Structure 1
Amino acid sequence: MNIDEPLRTAPRSALSGTHGDDPEFMRSAHARLVTGQIDDTTRLDRLTELTARLLGASTSQVSIISEVQMVVGASGPAAPAKLEASPAEDSMCTVTVNHGSPLAVHDAARDDRVAGLPPVTSGAVRTYAGVPLRVGGHVVGALCAYDSVVRTWTEDDVALLELLGEAVTAELQLAAVEASYSEDRQIWSVAVEAAGVGAYDWNLHTGELSWDDRTLELFGVERNHFDGRIETFSSLVHPDDRDRVTQAWQNTIEQCGVLDVEYRVVPPEGPTRWVLARGEAYPGLSGRAERLVGAVLDTTQVQEGEARIARVLEAMPSAFFSLDREWRFTYANARAQQLLAGVSGDLSGHVLWELFPQAVGSDFEVHYRHAVESGEPVSFEAYYPPPLNAWYEVRAWPSPEGLSVYFLEITDRRLAQEELARSAERGSLLAEVTSSLTSTFDTYQAVGRLAQLLVPRLGEWCIVTLVDHNEPFTQRDWRRHLRDIGLWHADESRRHTLQRYVDLRVSALSDDSYLARALSGERSVLVADRAHEQVTATLQPGEARDRYLELEAENVAFLPVRGRGRTVGALTVGRRRGMPAFTPDELNTLVDISARAGLALDNARAYAEQRDLAEGLQRSLLTPPPDPAHLQVAVRYEPAAEVAQVGGDWYDSFLQTDGSVVVVIGDVVGHDTVAAAAMGQLRALLRGIAVTTGEGPAAVLGRVDSAMPTLQIDTTATAVVAQVEQTSQEVEAGTVRLRWSNAGHPPPIVAVRQTDGSVVTEVLEGDGPDLLLGIDLGVERAEVVTHVPLGATVLLYSDGLVERRGQSLDDGIERLRATLADLVAEGCDLDTLGDQLLARLLPDRPEDDVALVALRLRQPVASSD
Structure 2
Amino acid sequence: MHPSPDRTTAADGDPSVAGARPDAAGQVADLRRRLTALQHQYETERLRWELAKEAGEVGTFDFEPATGLLLWDEQLQRMFGYDPATFDQSLDAFTARVHPDDERWHADALQASVDTMGEYDVEYRIVLPDGETRWIHARGRHLPGPDGRTDHLIGAAYDTTGEREASTRVTRVLEAMPAGFYSLDREWRFTHVNAEAERLLGQSRDELLGKVLWKVFPATIGSVFEESYRKAVDAGEPVAFDAYYPAPLDGWYELRAWPTPDGLSVYFLEVTERRKAQERAERSTYQLAILAQVSAELAGTLDTVVATARLPRLVVPALADFCVMTVIGADGAPRDVGSWHVDPSTRPLLERYREVRLDAMPMTAPVARALHTGEAATFRGDDVLSVLPEGPARELLALLAPETEVALPLRARGRTVGLLTLFYAPGHAPSADDVTVAQEVADRAGLALDNARLFSAQQQLAEGLQRSMLTDPPEPDHAEIAVRYLPAAEAARVGGDWYDAFLQPGGTTMLVIGDVVGHDTEAAAAMGQLRSLLRGIATYSDAPPVEVLRGLDASMATLRVGTLATAAVARFEQTPEEVGRGITRMRWANAGHLPPLVINPDGSVAELAPWVGDLMLGVDPTTTRHESVVTLDRGATVLLYTDGLVERRDADLDQGLLRLRTALTELSGLPLDELLDELIERLVQGRPDDDVALVAVRLHRQDRPRPAEAGPNIVPPTVPPDPAGT
TM, length-normalised to structure 2: 0.68
The partner residue of 1:535 within 374, 380, 384 is 384
Aligned to 2:411: 562
1:468-507 matches, cutoff 5 A: 468=329, 481-507=333-359
State the match for 2:545 in structure 1: 697
Tell me which of the two structures has the higher relative contact order, counting C-alpha pairs closer than 8 angstroms and 6 or more residues apart.
Answer: 2
The Cα offsets for residues 614-660 of structure 1, whole Å up to 9 and x where unpaired, read as 11111111112233464443322233567876332211122345554
Where does the alignment leave 5 or more consecutive residues of structure 1 unmatched?
A: 1-47, 60-74, 80-125, 130-144, 168-303, 473-480
2:435 matches 1:587: yes
The answer on 1:785 being equivalent to 2:646 is no
- Specify the alignment match of 2:486 in structure 1: 638
Question: Offset at 1:423?
Answer: 2.0
Matches within 5 A, 1:272-283: none
- C-alpha separation in 1, matches of 2:210 and 2:364: 68
Amino acid at match of 1:574: F
> Residue 640 of structure 2: which of 778, 783, 796 is its match?
796
- Residue 691 (structure 2) aligns with: 849
Post-superposition Cα deviations, 1:269-303, rounded to whole Å, max 9, x if no partner, equal: xxxxxxxxxxxxxxxxxxxxxxxxxxxxxxxxxxx
Alignment of 1:350-499 (within 5 A): 350-468=211-329, 481-499=333-351
Choose from 516, 527, 531 the match for 1:679: 527
Q: Output aligned runs, 1:311-326, within 5 Å.
A: 311-326=172-187
Q: Relative to 1, partners in 2 of residues 1:332 and 1:795: Cα closer, same or farther, differing over 3 Å? A: farther
* Contact 1:751–1:820, Cα closer than 8 Å, also in 2: no
3-state SS of 1:596 partner: helix
Equivalent-residue separation in structure 2 for 1:419 and 1:833 (angstroms): 61
Q: Does 1:545 align with 2:389?
A: no
Q: Secondary structure at the match of 1:537?
A: helix
**Offset of residue 451 of structure 1:** 3.1
What is the alpha-carbon distance in structure 1 between the residues aligned to residue 460 and residue 288 of structure 2?
Answer: 35
Matches within 5 A, 1:18-29: none
SS in 2 for 1:614: helix
Given that 2:507 and 2:725 are in contact with CA atoms closer than 8 Å, whether structure 1 keeps it comes out as: no
How many Å separate the matches in 2 of 1:823 and 1:490? 51
> 1:793: how far off?
5.4
Q: Are the structure 2 counterparts of residues 331 and 812 from structure 1 closer, same or farther at C-alpha, using a change threshold of 3 Å?
A: farther
Structure 1 CA distance, aligned partners of 2:682 and 2:268?
Answer: 66
Larger radius of gyration: 2
* Match in the other structure for 2:619: 775
For 1:72-87, list aligned pairs within 5 A.
none
Is the contact made by 2:214 and 2:221 (CA closer than 8 Å) also made in structure 1? yes
Q: 1:818 to 1:468 in 2, by over 3 A?
A: closer
State the one-letter code of the partner of 2:393: A
Of 572, 578, 591, which aligns to 2:421?
A: 572
Q: State the Cα deviation string for residues 529-559 of structure 1 (Å, max 9, x = none).
A: xx23x22332233343333333323212233
User: Cα distance, 1:671 vs. partner?
Assistant: 4.0
In the aligned structure 2, how far is the partner of 1:309 from the partner of 1:812? 85
Letter in 2 for 1:454: V
Distance 1:128 1:735 in 2: 134
Give the AA of the match of 2:454: A
SS in 2 for 1:434: helix
Per the alignment, do residues 753 and 322 of structure 1 end up closer, same or farther by CA in structure 2, a change over 3 Å counting?
A: farther
CA contact (8 A) 2:605 2:665 kept: no
CA distance in 1, matches of 2:248, 2:206: 13
Distance 2:589 2:537 in 1: 15
| Cα distance in 2 between the residues matched to 1:698 and 1:437 | 49
Instruction: Give distance in 1, aligned partners of 2:235 and 2:636.
Output: 86
**Equivalent pair of 2:573/2:587 in contact (CA under 8 Å):** yes
Task: Report the CA distance between 1:710 and its aligned residue.
Answer: 4.1
**CA deviation after TM superposition for structure 1 residue 337, in Å:** 2.9
Q: Residue 507 of structure 2 contacts residue 724 of structure 2 at CA under 8 Å; is this kept in 1?
A: no
Q: Among all aligned residue pairs of Structure 1 and Structure 2, give the percentage whose two residues are the same amino acid.
A: 48
Q: 1:342 to 1:794 in 2, by over 3 A?
A: farther
Match of 2:199 in 1: 338
Give distance in 2, aligned partners of 1:324 and 1:845.
79
Per the alignment, residue 509 of structure 1 pairs with: 361
2:656 paired residue among 789, 802, 815: 815
- Partner SS for 1:781: coil
Q: What is aligned with 2:555?
A: 707
SS of the residue 2:387 aligns to: coil
The equivalent residue for 1:41 is none
Render the CA deviation track for 1:193-212: whole Å, top value 9, x for unaligned: xxxxxxxxxxxxxxxxxxxx
Letter in 2 for 1:518: A
Specify the alignment match of 1:298 in structure 2. Answer: none
Q: Distance in 2 between matches of 1:751 and 1:343?
A: 101
Q: Secondary structure at the match of 2:403?
A: strand
Contact 2:601 2:634 in 1 (8 A): no
Give the aligned length: 573
- Matched to 1:535, the amino acid is V
CA distance in 2, matches of 1:128, 1:753: 125
CA contact 1:58–1:147 (8 Å) conserved in 2 = no
Match of 1:348 in 2: 209
Q: 1:836 to 1:435 in 2, by over 3 A?
A: farther
**What CA distance in whole angstroms lies between the structure 1 residues aligned with 2:504 and 2:419?**
59
Q: Alpha-carbon deviations, 1:691-716, whole Å to 9, x = none?
A: 34444322221222233344554433
In structure 1, distance between residues paired with 2:487 and 2:139: 111
CA distance in 1, matches of 2:283, 2:338: 26
AA in 2 matched with 1:853: V
Deviation at 1:368, TM superposition (A): 1.6
Q: Which amino acid aligns with 1:355?
A: V
Structure 1 residues 550 and 853: alpha-carbon distance in aligned structure 2, compared to 1, 3 A threshold: same
| Structure 1 residues 572 and 653, CA gap change in structure 2 (3 angstroms) | same
Aligned-partner residue type, residue 622 of structure 2: G
Is the 1:343–1:356 contact (alpha carbons within 8 Å) kept by the matching residues of 2? Answer: no
* Partner-residue secondary structure (3-state), 1:435: helix
Q: Deviations over 1:233-261 (max 9, x none)?
A: xxxxxxxxxxxxxxxxxxxxxxxxxxxxx
User: CA distance change for structure 1 residues 511 and 127 in 2, over 3 Å: closer, same or farther?
Assistant: closer
Give the direction of change, closer, same or farther, for the CA distance of 1:765–1:366 in structure 2 (3 Å limit). Answer: farther
C-alpha change, 1:837 and 1:337, in structure 2 (3 Å) is farther
**In structure 1, what is the equivalent of residue 373 of structure 2?**
521
Q: Distance in 1 between matches of 2:632 and 2:239?
A: 86
Task: Measure the CA separation in 2 of the matches of 1:728 and 1:342.
Answer: 118
Change (3 A) 1:673 1:149: closer
Q: Which amino acid aligns with 1:458?
A: L
CA distance in 1, matches of 2:239, 2:583: 91
Measured in 1, the distance between the counterparts of 2:142 and 2:454 equals: 99
CA contact (8 A) 1:344 1:355 kept: no
* Residues 562-616 of structure 1: per-residue CA shift (max 9 Å, x gap): 232222222333234x342222222223322222222222211111111111111
Q: What is the distance in 2 between the residues matched to 1:495 and 1:837?
A: 41
Contact conserved, 2:492 with 2:519, CA < 8 A, in 1?
A: no
Aligned to 2:103: none
Residue 363 (structure 1) shift: 0.5
Distance 1:151 1:700, change over 3 A: farther
